[in-house]
Structure 1
Amino acid sequence: MTRQTKSMSTPLAQARGLGSAKSGLNHWWHQRVSAVAMVGLVSWMVFLVLSLAGADYETALNVVSHPAHAAVVVLFIAVGLWHASLGLQVVLEDYVANEGVRLIAILAVKMAASVIAVLSILSVLKVAL
């Protein structure tokens, strides 16, 4: 039999001196910067898609192959997936209780976002070049 002893110290006293992980602010800052970047990128993409409404395939191909448009599409993909993976990581950290499952889920999200980003960017570059 094991005997459990209760501590007389408060939770604050137990936490004092442990320090911070110093990763929360960095994660928060990256999420805000990517959100601000997405405002401009989404605006450009909405303009681009609306300008292609009713256009044929060749016209769309010519527009997307323009270096400025291709660069914005690549940035939209990269920043959008980065922002999404940061947000999903926060959700997983907050709502998945099991540490092992949480770690696997976060790694799966990051891996999926990376694979989707690489394949999407390669597709845009294939059209643009």
Structure 2
Amino acid sequence: MSTPGMDRANLRTPLKQVLGLGSAKSGTHHFIVQRMTGLALVLLVIWVVGFTLTLVHAGDYAHARALLRQPLCAAGLVAFVVVSFWHAQLGLQVVIEDYVHTRWLEIASQIAVKFVCAGAALIGVIAIFRVHIGY
């Protein structure tokens, strides 16, 4: 039993064939990057929690600044901030793609999320850098 207008070798409807809707072949990359940033965040969160507990037990602001002036600590915090906002942007992108159905609103939301995440990550990196160099 065959549906009119359907080719048995190609399971796409004629409308899909005309519109060109189908796989953009970018979903796998997005999926892998989202999982990799998630895995990196698991490791970075463990490190950040330990570092935060060290800062709590440091006692005073001068000791905390001295810890942040160590290159490895600053690099770890920068990695945490960048990966966190990258992962957040990827997750919000999926939510917008799935639930916003008005095309102009979807595009505007995607652009806004990218700018907000990039701006927040930049502010975080600048703050860490300022403490690191002692400014």
TM-score bracket relative to the smaller structure: 0.7 to 0.9
Match of 2:81 in 1: 77
User: Does residue 100 of structure 2 align to residue 96 of structure 1?
Assistant: yes
Determine if the alignment matches structure 1 residue 13 to structure 2 residue 16: no
Letter in 2 for 1:128: H
Over residues 84-122 of structure 1, what are the superposed CA-to-partner deviations in whole Å (9 max), with x where a residue is unaligned? 000000000000010110010010000001111111101
2:124 corresponds to: 120
Q: C-alpha separation between the residues in 2 aligned to 1:16 and 1:98? A: 23
Cα RMSD over matched residues? Answer: 2.0
Q: How far 1:21 sits from its partner (Å)? A: 0.4
Aligned-residue sequence identity (percent) comes to 36
Match of 2:36 in 1: 33
Distance 2:126 2:49 in 1: 21
- Which residue of 2 is the match for residue 4 of structure 1? none
Map Cα deviations across residues 44-88 of structure 1 (whole Å, 9 max, x no partner): 000001112242111111111111000000000000000000000
Q: Which amino acid aligns with 2:66?
A: N
The CA deviation at 1:126 is 1.1
Aligned counterpart, 1:86:
90
The CA distance in 2 between the partners of 1:100 and 1:66, in whole Å, is 46
Aligned residues: 123
TM-score normalised by L of structure 2: 0.83
Residue deviations 1:24-62, cap 9 Å, x none? Answer: 111111101100111111010000011122421111111
CA distance in structure 2 between the partners assigned to 1:16 and 1:53 by the alignment: 61
TM-score (norm 1): 0.87
**1:86 partner amino acid:** L
- Residue 13 of structure 1 and its aligned partner are, at CA, apart by 3.0
Q: Output the CA distance in 2 between the equivalents of 1:84 and 1:9.
A: 43
